[in-house]
Amino acid sequence: MSVSAGDNIKLDWERQEDPQRLAAFEARIDAGELVEADDWMPQNYRVGMLRMAEHHANSEIVGALPEGEWITRAPSLKRKLALIAKVQDEVGHGQMLYRVSQDLGKPRDAMLRDLCTGRTKYHNVFNYPAPTWADVAMIQWLVDGAAIMNQKSLADGSYGPYVRTMRRINMEEAFHFKSGEDMVLTLMSGTPRQRRDTQAAFDRWWMPCLMFFGPPDKDSTKTSPFMTWRIKTLTNDTLRQRFVDRFAPAAIDLGLEIKTKQRDASGAIVSDDLVPDELIVHDEASGHYGFTQPDWDEFNRVIRGNGPLNRERVGLRRFSYEQGAWVRRAVLGQTCGLPLAN
Amino acid sequence: MGLSSKRTGIPTYEHPDRLSDNPEGDLRAYEVFVQTERGKPHTHCGSVDAADDAMALQFAREHYGRDQACVQVWVCPRDAMIRTDYDKDLVFRLTDQSYRFAKGYNVGAKWREFRAQRDYEDYRKEDIKEHF
């Protein structure tokens, strides 16, 4: 194995690539061709793609944790079966994406270990708690909705193995999203308490979902090599606006109120108490919905490991990794322990 | 804070950057092919990592065979597959290969010509019979 850990897989913008090969590579990307695992690619393309695929894989694995907690408490057999299937799908996506990442040069075990020790990240949104069943519905509707929006754009990317995996994943995400929509509709047509719980869950997930697409674009985003190489195909702000345009009218339709943190006249956040977001208005001229930006200070706190559940999520992943060591040893021992008979 | 904080038995770690055991090597990569219906071709759909063939087949069934109609799964160790090189091997020549395809043969025009010639010959025979 050429690479023993993740530490030496770094972006290096000083690196000089063979100009002829680079030009041929970029021409292929411009022509809409897909790059395959064995093809020549610039080192920064490989590293950028690996980081994205690994982060995505981590997110699928950790993303299964908040929902997994609810399997034993699902309100009906049908919901329980669907939730088990969804959690299984997410873990499966994680496995497929680790496989894609391995071919980009990082061993699988190094990725699992880096996740357990906090060297690599997963999606911020999974550091928030899911205290009620309505949160499970909200995760499947809003978070999976945001994920589909993001992944649809990634399915237009340039790295063949990732793109094909993304198309497959999107088929399965469509079921998660529909089942979430079904749950939210059920809850919002239920008792006053169910509707209250759903509003409370919506309040917990709306802003983390706005943050889901990452920090606001810098001026340089559109010309970043990751955009020209089509590792990313749409900017964070474009995707965020798409999400709002899709989900703000749906939430209003369902009778949910969209809220934001309380701010003073200068726009500074004065309290964590939520007030209705006055900017949620459809603008006829642009065709878009307005919205108030989420609390980016909170985003930065959570991403540095100080979110509500960062320690628990990583702790549980690590717990099961360490508890599973004997299984891995047994499996590996079986194949490499016995000499071949001849 | 919901169920997560009530879960017991999850240790907190003094040294979060040190794990108790050593890293392991990669397993073997297998390519996965699924057949969605009997009689249809098997299609490549991705790959899995496994320690042996039986485990590869089990993983492939779980990851690729569950969420779509599927009647058969094939797995094949990647290093056992022989393949061409995109750059070095030209698999399909770009010269005129119309002779390889049905559409490369315009038999309609030939039939028309053939029938016209036959009709002409028949007419000529009749003509000769009549006059001599």
Q: Which two tokens stand for residue A301?
A: 């706190």
Query: Band of the pLDDT at B105, cuts 50, 70, 90?
Result: confident
CATH of the domain at B31: 3.10.20.520
Flag whether A15 is in a domain: no
- CB of B70 within 8 Å of any CB in chain A? no
Q: Is A111 inside any structural domain? A: yes
* Local confidence band at B11 (pLDDT 50, 70, 90 cut-offs): low
B118: closest CA of chain A, how far (Å): 53
Helix (H, G, I), strand (E, B) or coil at B106: coil
Establish if A200 belongs to a structural domain. Answer: yes
Question: Would you say residue B111 lies in a domain?
Answer: yes
pLDDT digits (tens, 9 = 90+) for A152-165: 999 999 999 999 99
- Does residue B21 lie in a domain region? no
Residue B70 lies in domain: 26-131
- Is B1 close to A70, i.e. CB distance below 8 A? no
Residue A150's domain is classified under what CATH number?
Answer: 1.20.1260.10
Residue A322 lies in a domain: no
Residues of B in contact with A131 (CB under 8 A): 1-3
Assess if residue B9 is contained within a domain: no
Whether residue A309 lies inside any domain: the answer is no
| Helix, strand, coil percent values for chain A (each to nearest 5) | 65, 5, 30
What is the pLDDT of chain A when averaged over all its residues? 90
State whether residue A178 sits within 8 Å of chain B by CB: no
Model confidence band, residue A12 (pLDDT cutoffs 50, 70, 90): confident
Element (H, E) at B32: strand B28-35
Q: Please report residues of A whose CB lies closer than 8 A to that of B8.
A: none
ipTM value: 0.75
Whether residue A298 has pLDDT greater than 80: yes
Domain membership of residue A174 (yes or no) is yes
Residue B15 domain-assigned (yes or no): no
- Asked whether residue B12 is domain-assigned, the answer is no
Count of domains observed in chain A: 1
Whether B82 is in a domain gets the answer yes
User: Which residues of chain B lie closer than 8 angstroms to A65, CB-CB?
Assistant: 4
Task: Give A309-335 pLDDT, tens digit per residue.
Answer: 988 899 899 988 888 887 877 877 654
Q: Is the residue at B50 inside a domain?
A: yes
User: Is B53 among the domain residues?
Assistant: yes
d(CA B37, CA B57) in angstroms, rounded, equals: 18
The interface residues of chain A toward chain B in range 50-69, judged by CB-CB distance below 8 A, are 65-66, 69
Least confident interval from A25-39, A314-328, B17-31, B106-120:
B17-31
Domain range enclosing A125: 24-296
Task: Count the domains in chain B.
Answer: 1
pLDDT in tens, A203-254: 999 999 999 999 999 877 777 889 999 999 999 999 999 999 999 999 999 9
* A10 within some domain: no
Give me the DSSP letters along A279-314: T--B-TTT--B------HHHHHHIIIIISSSHHHHH
Nearest CA in chain A to B62: A92
Chain A partners of B26 at a C-beta cutoff of 8 Å?
Answer: 1, 102, 107-109
Give the per-residue pLDDT at A340.
Answer: 41
- Domain presence at residue A143: yes
Q: What is the pLDDT, as a whole number, of residue B1?
A: 42
